């Protein structure tokens, strides 16, 4: 069995973390725009970068993932594929990663709830990370006026009126994200308690903790706004620490639990592109592997070859069976049982 | 050492499809049957073969080994679970690697599904749906001792030969008591069954 490349993974992960620190220092103009109150968030994001890269490196070093990773990137970066079907990759990214069409095929309710969590988290991440790294700053355009300017790396992006809808939306972006996430998480928590399909084999650490973490972050975040608007800031400091602790713990946990699917899921695009491009190369008859017994198509020739190579890597000595469809494999086994174990099933 | 598991005896199977219907009722994959019922010599004999997941022990779960997304979990009790829907990317590696032809795939949902030994039942000590309804005992759930107490003179095998490789499994098949060699997992060069040629070996299309 291959050993995971712990040393190499640690070095690459450390290098990425150092790069992130450098980017934070440079992006916040030598820490001039860096908000020291947000240090724990920034530190957690550096840990997150280390954890994600480390786990990713270990993951793609396993035989099956490594081969698919290579084929996926080869298809994505192939100039020939780009020329032949330039829209294939962007379309797959939009349908698989953005709108998650496959989830709709599993259940419409789960798709809706997951979309709420997905877009809510994406919005929150797009706001939080640049803010805590000191990349986004807001400066007033005049001493008296309601005008504000949003800057990225010190450069003005656009100006807006703080009393306008855009101003309101910008300052309540995280509240909007929290409302979306709470909606989605609420449905999934209900499902985890009531749905027998979901409760079979579910584990607290894997299935509940991520939902509870998202819920804690969203609720404490909303309570901060509530404290500011209705309690004149009462309990704000305690809530801020509670919110910070929940975010930091979640970010540090992200690479090791269910949340790692965020990093793994793009492999679906690589896999799909690999099969799609193989199919487009020639006629279906040439590029589809037909079952050696019944002639039904099994998969693309390239995918079956890739699988057989993976099986040989893993020393699974029956890769020849991959050229038979599942039904023929069962029928062959049934026939052999009939012919040699219990002759005529007597 | 075999614990409580499924014992398959194709010699007793009458192809009634009760197991297929019962499997559909399982809560973890409602409406979809994970058991396969095949007629290996259709049109000539009534022989039928039910196939549940064999829960391979050595090599441990080839389906899980070839999964690029680490989606297939094997629980401590040796049960190979169906793909974790969070992780499964629908690549079909498991479907094509399984030598027994067990996993199913929904390409639209990008999700693999397979028999999980009715984990919602067996983890609470209940028999799986298929074995509960099987009228002839072709699917028997229990221990070897319980099986042999009911059926004197039978033995079971958990060794299956695929070419030069032997796969040992957590689910067993009933064999005659004098059999010591592994059960053939299927002979790719099998040219005749019950005296008639197989497809590709002179059988009529």
What confidence tens digit (pLDDT) does each residue in B78-100 have?
999 999 999 999 999 999 999 99
Instruction: Chain A: give the shortest CA distance to residue B185, in Å.
Output: 5
Number of other residues whose CB lies within 10 A of the CB of residue A86? 10
Backbone angles phi, psi at A317, to 5 degrees: -80, 15
Given an 8 Å threshold on Cβ–Cβ distance, is A328 in contact with B101? yes
Q: Do A287 and A298 meet the contact criterion of CB atoms below 8 Å apart?
A: no
Which among A68, A316, A341 is the nearest to B65, CB-wise? A316
Which among A310, A316, A345 is the nearest to B10, CB-wise? A345
Closest chain A residue to B189, measured at CA: A332
Distance CA A288, CA B96 (A): 14
A316 contact residues in B (CB cutoff 8 A): 59, 62, 65-66, 97, 165
Given an 8 Å threshold on Cβ–Cβ distance, is A268 in contact with B165? no
What percentage of chain A has pLDDT greater than the value 70? 97
A90 touches chain B (CB under 8 A): no
pLDDT of B193 above 70: no
| Residue-level pLDDT at A293 | 86
What confidence tens digit (pLDDT) does each residue in A198-212 have?
888 889 999 999 999
What confidence tens digit (pLDDT) does each residue in B106-118 have?
999 999 999 999 9
User: Helix, strand or coil for residue A150?
Assistant: strand
The DSSP annotation for chain B comes to ---SEEEE-GGG-----HHHHHHHT-GGGTT----EEE-TTTTT----EEE----EEETB-HHHHT-TT----B-TTS-BPPPPTTT-----HHHHH-TT---EEETTTTEEE---S-HHHHTTTPPPHHHHH-SSSSEEEE-HHHHHHHSTTEEEEEEEEETTEEEEEEEEEEEETT--SPEES--TT--EETTEEPTTTT---
B137 touches chain A (CB under 8 A): no
Confidence of residue B26 (pLDDT cuts 50, 70, 90): confident
Q: Can you tell me the mean pLDDT for B153-177?
A: 92
| Residue-level pLDDT at B205 | 46
Highest mean pLDDT range out of A81-85, A154-158, B53-57, B117-121?
B53-57
What pTM did the predictor assign? 0.89
How many alpha carbons fall within 13 Å on the CB side of residue A275? Answer: 20
Q: Can you tell me the mean pLDDT for A54-82?
A: 92
CATH architecture for residues B5-57+119-197:
2-Layer Sandwich (3.30)
Which among A106, A261, A292 is the nearest to B109, CB-wise? A106
Mean pLDDT value across chain A: 91
pLDDT of B200 above 70: no
A299 touches chain B (CB under 8 A): yes
| Residue-level pLDDT at A283 | 54
pLDDT of B187 above 80: no
Given an 8 Å threshold on Cβ–Cβ distance, is A332 in contact with B65? no
pLDDT of B201 above 80: no
Q: Can you tell me the mean pLDDT for A171-192?
A: 96
**What angle (nearest 5°) sits at the alpha carbon of residue A74, between those of residues A69 and A78?**
155
Element housing A70 (H / E): helix A63-77
Q: Can you tell me the mean pLDDT for A106-114?
A: 96
B99 contact residues in A (CB cutoff 8 A): 318, 321, 329
Distance of CA A147 to the CA centre of its chain: 37
Window A:34-73, CB contacts with B under 8 Å: 59, 62, 64-65, 67-69
B29 contact residues in A (CB cutoff 8 A): 197
What percentage of chain B has pLDDT greater than the value 70? 90
| Residue-level pLDDT at A205 | 93
Distance CA A229, CA A234 (A): 10
Q: Which comes out higher in pLDDT, residue A22 or A196?
A: A22
Boundaries of every domain in chain B: 5-57+119-197
pLDDT of B128 above 60: yes
Q: Which comes out higher in pLDDT, residue B38 or A80?
A: B38
| Residue-level pLDDT at A2 | 59
pLDDT of A343 above 70: yes
């Amino acid at each position: 069995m291959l050993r995971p490349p712990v040393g190499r993974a640690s070095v690459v992960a450390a290098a990425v973390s150092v790069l992130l620190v450098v980017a934070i220092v440079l992006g916040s103009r030598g820490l001039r725009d860096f908000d020291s109150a947000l240090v724990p968030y920034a530190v957690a994001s550096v840990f997150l970068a280390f954890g994600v890269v480390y786990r990713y490196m270990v993951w793609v070093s396993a035989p099956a993932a490594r081969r698919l990773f290579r084929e996926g990137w080869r298809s994505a970066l192939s100039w020939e594929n780009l020329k032949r079907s330039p829209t294939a990759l962007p379309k797959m990214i939009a349908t698989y990663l953005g709108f998650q069409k496959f989830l709709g095929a599993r259940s419409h309710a789960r798709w809706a709830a997951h979309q709420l969590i997905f877009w809510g988290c994406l919005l929150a991440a797009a706001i939080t990370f640049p803010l805590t790294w000191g990349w986004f700053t807001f400066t007033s355009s005049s001493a008296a006026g309601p005008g504000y300017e949003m800057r990225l790396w010190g450069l003005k992006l656009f100006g807006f009126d703080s009393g306008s809808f855009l101003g309101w939306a910008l300052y309540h972006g995280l509240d909007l994200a929290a409302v979306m996430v709470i909606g989605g998480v609420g449905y999934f928590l209900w499902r985890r308690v009531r749905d027998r399909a979901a409760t079979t084999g579910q584990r607290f650490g894997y299935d509940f903790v991520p939902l509870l973490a998202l819920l804690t972050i969203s609720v404490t975040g909303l309570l901060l706004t509530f404290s500011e608007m209705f309690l004149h800031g009462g309990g704000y400091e305690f809530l801020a620490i509670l919110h910070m602790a929940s975010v930091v713990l979640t970010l540090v946990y992200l690479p090791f639990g269910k949340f790692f699917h965020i990093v793994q899921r793009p492999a679906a695009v690589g896999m799909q592109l690999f099969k799609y491009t193989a199919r487009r190369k020639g006629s279906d008859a040439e590029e589809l592997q037909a079952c050696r017994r019944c002639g039904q198509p099994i998969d693309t020739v390239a995918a079956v070859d890739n699988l057989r190579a993976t099986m040989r890597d893993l020393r699974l000595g029956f890769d020849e069976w991959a050229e038979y469809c599942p039904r023929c494999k069962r029928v062959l086994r049934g026939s052999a049982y009939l012919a040699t174990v219990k002759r005529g099933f007597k | 050492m075999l614990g409580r598991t499924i014992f398959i005896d194709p010699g007793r199977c009458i192809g009634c499809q009760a197991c297929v219907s019962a499997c559909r009722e399982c809560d973890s994959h409602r409406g979809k049957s994970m058991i396969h019922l095949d007629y290996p010599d259709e049109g000539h004999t009534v022989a039928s073969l039910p196939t549940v997941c064999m829960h391979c022990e050595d090599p441990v779960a080839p389906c899980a080994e070839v999964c690029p997304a680490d989606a297939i979990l094997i629980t401590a009790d040796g049960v190979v679970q169906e793909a974790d829907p969070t992780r499964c990317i629908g690549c079909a590696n498991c479907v094509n690697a399984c030598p027994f032809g067990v996993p199913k795939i929904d390409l639209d949902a990008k999700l693999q599904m397979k028999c999980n030994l009715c984990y919602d039942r067996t983890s609470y000590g209940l028999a799986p749906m298929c074995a509960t309804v099987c009228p002839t005992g072709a699917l028997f759930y229990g221990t070897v001792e319980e099986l042999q107490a009911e059926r004197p003179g039978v033995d079971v095998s958990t060794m299956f030969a695929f070419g030069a490789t032997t796969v040992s499994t957590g689910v067993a098949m009933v064999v005659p008591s004098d059999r010591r060699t592994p059960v053939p997992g299927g002979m790719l060069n099998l040219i005749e069954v019950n005296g008639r040629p197989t497809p590709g070996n002179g059988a009529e299309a």
